[in-house]
Structure 1
Amino acid sequence: MRQHPRIAAIDLGSNSFHMLIAKATTRGYRIITRHRQKVRLADGLTPELTLNDAAIERGVACLKDFAQLLKNYEPLQVRCVATASLRKASNRKQILKHFERALGATIDIISGTTEAGLIYQGATLDLARPDSAMLVLDIGGASTEVIAGIGTEPHVLKSLDMGCVVWQNRYFADGLITAARFAEAIDSAKKLIQPLAKTYQAHGWQTVCGASGTFRAVQDCLRQHGSDTMSAEFINYCMQETIKLGHVEQLEQLGIRDDRMAVFCGGLAILVALTESLDIRTIDLAQGALREGLVHTMLTERKRSLA
């Protein structure tokens, strides 16, 4: 057995599939390589919650690529988890057979609470002080996780039934962007957040960090604008500028990357709803998310087994 083995953490999200391969070190781990593919599983969920063949084929193609990378890097341990889209899919057993055959590894469909806990671990490893109250937000493709904790320990964990892909398809499907559509999308998101607002505000936080692609996209807007603080005011400004552009194909003018344009409005509407419902003033960009949390958990379990 290698003294410092390689491990692989794979996250089958509703928008993107991620793989992180890391090497264990005496102080934790060192990332060897990261890979991400836009699979957009949530795009393939029908109203009956069946995942369609096109989405399954995109997932299989990605996992075959991941399988080749696993063969190249030969990690000692592989852990793969799937999130909201597969939690919802009525044909998930059939999908898992295809996905596990393509990857060559077992895939666990994790609960929303487990997902939230892993996200919090990954997001706070480098940011949190032991006594710091934290709020972590992750806007995924089909779910949004809101987690409050102290240091690296999560205390309040919720997974909400909304995400950037689902909201984009529901409110901006044809690519047109209007103030009325944003208002409707924000109002729908608030209805899911507001029943929980008092619980989170009672817990409190000193720092808020965002751990998903929506936050990185807003950060890109910040850079283009010459600003460095992701404030509630800037997020609202970003929405107003988005509305002025009128169509998703114009979002590159705000600095939005091509691979993010198709789901940006859905994620931004949820973000606005979060900042307004929870009275969030500023947000930091987290350096980690679910896969980093998964690596941390794998290493912790390994240390316990060797003790």
Structure 2
Amino acid sequence: MKTMASDFALSTQPALGRTSPDRRSATSRVPNERRARPPAYAAIDLGTNNCRMLVGVPSGGGFHVLDSFSRVVRLGEGLYRSGTLSDAAMDRAIDALSICAERLRRWQVSDIRAIATEACRQAENGAAFIARARAATGLPIETISPREEVGLAMESCASLINQAERRALLFDIGGGSTEIAWVRVPGSAGAADRSLPQLIGYHTIPVGVVTLSERCAGWCESEAGFAAVVEEIKALLRPFEQIHRIGQEIRQGGVRLVGTSGTVTTIAGIALNLDRYRRGAIDGAVLPREQVASGLAAIRALGRTGLAEHPCIGPDRVDFVLPGCAIFAAIEEMWPASDLAVADRGLREGMLMRLIRTARARSRPYQV
């Protein structure tokens, strides 16, 4: 049931996201690697704030990363106020997509998926921008629905979801929206006999770190303002709670929160007292609620200068950290699970896994 409101080293997927040890020479090795490697696949995620790409080949139950790219493009800059994508934002996004297209031509991938999310869904000129991006880059970029966005997040986080006892509440705090998925774990009561988690229901709210930072600039820096934003977001989450009674399920036990977003990985990095961000220490970490709360409190106590200077944050993300923390706090207060599984992965990884699975199904001989 759906309701609407106004970057892997996994134990179950050992090769997922393992990067090349020599990233700088990746493109120079392409011709030699192409002769020996399996078919390559590519995924591009154009979000409200970032443009990201992954190129990978199947390896075991996951994939081996050949190339990756990420750039802040701020596609949704000013969207809350104007309702449209600005010329400057569209130019930045197309420049980044053009870099992706050039790198993909060198790799000669077998299949590609390129998606846009909330900024293009919301913008009056979103469809026109997608047409322009296709023409300029040759990439088959398309805007996906919130339902498919949830499905891709589930795909990338399946190994973490499957570690829960009965249910998982997966959330993805994006730049322009936040997606929530209520998930049945394989092997639990009522679950079909298959390896992938099953979606019970999902919810999307048009609030993300970019839109919230523009709409409530400075609010989250004060105690009262932060609390007001948290309450506003909880009101947007309440209809989903009323349908699925997730709070009651959490009290019965066996439910795990699984979070995937820059906000969640930042909170985890600070909760773990890391001197710098290390993906290997964060992706897949399961933190008790008390440790998560200490990380959230530490972030809020840093102040703007402290946020900019912290090695797990940096000046480019200062405007988005506290709005993201407010969204996270609303989710955690609404659904206070005993621990949080942290995922440093997202839509790109979900797309790659889906492309690989589809290719394997096509190559499998038909059996009567």
Alignment of 1:1-307 (within 5 A): 4-25=38-59, 27-125=61-159, 128-129=162-163, 132-149=166-183, 150-151=185-186, 152-153=196-197, 154-171=199-216, 173-174=217-218, 177-198=221-242, 199=244, 200-201=246-247, 205-224=254-273, 230-246=287-303, 248-252=304-308, 255-258=311-314, 259-307=316-364
- Name the CA shift for 1:70/1:121 in 2 (closer, same or farther; >3 Å): same
Structure 2's unaligned 5+ residue stretches are 1-33, 187-195, 276-280
TM-fit CA distance, 1:238: 4.2
CA distance in 2, matches of 1:282, 1:73: 41
TM-fit CA distance, 1:102: 3.6
CA distance in 2, matches of 1:25, 1:236: 37
CA distance in 1, matches of 2:77, 2:260: 21
TM-fit CA distance, 1:165: 1.1
TM-fit CA distance, 1:174: 4.9
Between stretches 89-98 and 153-162, larger displacement belongs to 153-162
Helix, strand or coil for the counterpart of 1:125? helix
TM-fit CA distance, 1:293: 1.2
Helix, strand or coil for the counterpart of 1:47? helix
CA distance in 1, matches of 2:296, 2:255: 25
TM-fit CA distance, 1:133: 2.6
The 8 Å contact of residues 134 and 207 in structure 1, kept in 2 or not, is answered as yes
The 8 Å contact of residues 164 and 256 in structure 2, kept in 1 or not, is answered as no
Residue 186 of structure 1 aligns with an amino acid whose one-letter code is V
CA distance in 1, matches of 2:224, 2:289: 20
1:192-228 residue CA offsets vs partner (Å, 9 max, x unmatched): 1122124134665532221111111112212337998
Q: Please, what is the CA RMSD of the aligned residues?
A: 2.7
Q: Count residues with an aligned counterpart.
A: 305
1:51-98 residue CA offsets vs partner (Å, 9 max, x unmatched): 111211111111111112112222111110111111111101221123
Which protein has the larger Cα radius of gyration, Structure 1 or Structure 2? 2
- Name the CA shift for 1:118/1:225 in 2 (closer, same or farther; >3 Å): closer
TM-fit CA distance, 1:33: 2.2
Percent identity reads 26
- Name the CA shift for 1:48/1:253 in 2 (closer, same or farther; >3 Å): closer
- Name the CA shift for 1:218/1:123 in 2 (closer, same or farther; >3 Å): same
Residue 211 of structure 2 aligns with an amino acid whose one-letter code is V
